[in-house]
């Protein structure tokens, strides 16, 4: 009976990439502002590790996907993620959605993202 439980426990482990503990990591800070430079608070920020410089190996588990919100100063701080290509998406009320891929190679990096106001709506009638 115990072997069935152990088998089910292995199946329930989430599929998180496993990366060697010695790989280069980056502390990422994302600053979100409007075109006027005013900070955008409560913006939804999604950061996803896409591709790294090192090979994926067995070792320490490292989270490679974050979903968080900006604070009142428009800043979102992400704990250390592997260096390489990351995809950043920002969604905020009354602004256009932003999405882009960045190549991160520094141990600490600040990305400043300026959100555009929404486009006017047009009618075909």
Q: Cα angle vertex 117, ends 113, 123, to 5°? A: 145
Domain 18-115 has CATH 2.60.40.10: yes
> Distance between CA 88 and CA 31 in Å, rounded?
12
Residue 32 confidence (pLDDT): 96
* pLDDT by 10-residue block (mean), the chain, 125 residues: 46 44 76 94 92 56 82 93 91 95 92 92 81
pLDDT at 60: 59
The angle at the Cα of 88, spanning 84 to 92, to the nearest 5 degrees, equals 165
CA distance 6 to 3: 5
Enumerate the domain spans of the chain. 18-115
Predicted local confidence at residue 23, as pLDDT: 57
């Amino acid at each position: 009976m115990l072997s069935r439980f152990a088998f089910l426990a292995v199946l329930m482990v989430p599929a998180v990439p496993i990366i060697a503990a010695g790989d280069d990591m980056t502390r990422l800070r994302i600053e979100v502002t409007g075109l006027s430079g005013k900070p955008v608070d409560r913006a939804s920020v999604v950061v996803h590790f896409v591709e790294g410089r090192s090979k994926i190996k067995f070792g320490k588990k490292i989270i490679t996907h974050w979903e968080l919100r900006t604070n009142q100063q428009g800043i979102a701080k992400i704990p250390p993620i592997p260096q390489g290509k990351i995809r950043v998406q920002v969604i905020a009320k009354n602004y256009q959605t932003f999405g882009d891929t960045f190549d991160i190679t520094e141990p600490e990096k600040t990305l400043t993202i300026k959100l555009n106001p929404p486009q006017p709506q047009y009618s075909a009638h």
